[in-house]
Amino acid sequence: MPEITIRPAGRDDVPLILDFIRKLAVYEKLEDQVVATEALLDEWIFTRQRAEVLLAYVDGEPAGFALFFHNFSTFLGRAGLYLEDLYVDDRFRGLGCGKALLGRLARLAVERRCGRLEWSCLDWNTPSIGFYRSLGAVPMEGWTVYRLTGEALKQLGK
């Protein structure tokens, strides 16, 4: 049985984090949308501390990552954790890395007295949907994510 270890990322891990982000984008068929750089990741994750990253290793080899941050629920009156990205490299899927990463996130949420752990998943990603449901996660029926970017964001912000 392979040994899976999970650890928080440090500044030296920025190139690995960016590599995983690019691999995730390829999996999601969104590689043309990745404009992140090592400098941006370093600034926002480690200098501004707006997100955190956990890294998964299988027998000492980098296998995947989870990038997350705190959000807030006014209804619960407390913070939650929002999982922005979860990725496990093809050759390590099915070994328990994803479950180990989500398990660590769930423990962090409980330790930090968060009210929930949530994330989004592409509608076509049936392998991930099945995996999430097997853990007891439920989709949020009746909610649609809205996003402002680029010119629309700038225009509204004037």
The Cα 141–Cα 119 span in angstroms is 13
The Cα 144–Cα 17 span in angstroms is 28
The catalytic residue among 27, 57, 132, 146 is 132
Q: What is the DSSP string of 19-43?
A: HHHHHHHHHTT-GGG----HHHHII
Task: Give me the residues paired with residue 40 across strands.
Answer: none
Residue 132 falls in the annotated catalytic set:
yes
Catalytic center residues:
132
